[in-house]
Amino acid sequence: MPKKSKKQLTASWFEGELRLVGSLDSRMIGLLKAIDQSGSINQAAKQVGLSYKGAWQMIERANNLAPKVLISTATGGAKGGGTNLTTAGRSLLQLFTRIDQQHKQFLLEVNQALADDPVTQMLLKRLVIKTSATNQLFGSIIEIDQGTVNAEVVVKLKGGELVAAAISLSELKQLDLNIGSDIVLLINDPEIIIATDPDNYSFSARNCLRGKVVRLQEDEVDAEVVIHLPSGDSLVAIISQVSVEEMGLKLGISAHALFKSNAVMIGVI
């Protein structure tokens, strides 16, 4: 299998759609190209995934916007007769094709420049992570305590808060985690316990992060509580409506997010 070039491996951090004078976009140009190839609106509509009526509407709009007619038709049946691009239509198709090639080259060069910039990679990679976990916290490993079977990884968040995560030794090796590694911590919202005064009682949760309640969305059974940490990160927890009432939770009060180390999943950036 041939190796891919560096440009082929460039991530698409920067994207953009080519559009000329409002409605003349890639879909409209695709329809023009299909008409030029097939000579039939019906066939062209099928090729680009449009209904016959939808294709006609696009054609009428394009003809109305353009200074010259782009498409000529000849009646000849229930679905219309032959359809062809006019000289102006073919000129527009050639113009768009040429600009589209330049546009793609421009995007490729910008993305290549971004890929070569380590600061950009650090900032943008975090924005494209997709996961089902509600909470995502980014940080760097400052300590790894290995046991016989498992290890505890201590992660320092950007605001200085520390989070401990339990991980198996095999996972530690598989993810190639080391001191200084940048990682993302994933925590599902039901795993987080909310406390307003944890200093007055004991708890088994390894992690306790203090913040302020900035959102409280309640229904008849459960409530979604969002705690804003001093670092700027936020944590979302799902607790019962009864717990909200018993703790007197409301916007602006100080609260702690508690969660066990084995509730934290680790992802490598």
Q: Of 23-32, 79-88, 167-176, which has the strongest mean pLDDT?
A: 167-176
- Residue 240 confidence (pLDDT) above 80: yes
> What tokens does 46 get?
């099928």
What pLDDT was estimated at residue 178?
Answer: 92
- Residue 156 confidence (pLDDT) above 90: yes
Q: pLDDT class for 1, splitting at 50, 70, 90?
A: very low
CB half-sphere exposure, 18, CA atoms < 13 A: 18
Instruction: Spell out the domain ranges in the chain.
Output: 19-118, 135-268
**CA-based nearest residue to 167, from 178, 180, 152, 177:** 152
- CB-based contacts of 24-33 (< 8 A; 24+ apart in sequence): 24/62, 24/65, 24/92, 24/96, 26/100, 27/58, 28/58, 28/62, 29/92, 29/93, 29/96, 29/97, 29/100, 31/55, 31/58, 31/59, 32/62, 32/70, 32/71, 32/85, 32/89, 32/92, 32/93, 33/93
What pLDDT was estimated at residue 202?
Answer: 67
What pLDDT was estimated at residue 138?
Answer: 86
Looking at residues 168-185, what average pLDDT do you find? 90
What pLDDT was estimated at residue 73?
Answer: 74
* Pairwise CA distance, residues 48 & 59, whole Å: 13
- As a whole number, the mean pLDDT across the chain is 81
What pLDDT was estimated at residue 58?
Answer: 82
68-126: per-residue pLDDT in tens?
788 887 655 444 457 888 888 888 888 888 888 888 888 888 777 777 766 655 555 55
What pLDDT was estimated at residue 22?
Answer: 59
- Residue 6 confidence (pLDDT) above 50: no
Looking at residues 39-53, what average pLDDT do you find? 87
Looking at residues 148-155, what average pLDDT do you find? 93
Equal fold, 19-118 vs 135-268: no
Domain 135-268 has what CATH class? mainly beta
For domain 19-118, which architecture applies?
A: Orthogonal Bundle (1.10)
- Residue 25 confidence (pLDDT) above 70: yes
What pLDDT was estimated at residue 218?
Answer: 83
188-235: per-residue pLDDT in tens?
888 999 988 776 666 778 899 999 999 888 887 888 999 999 878 889
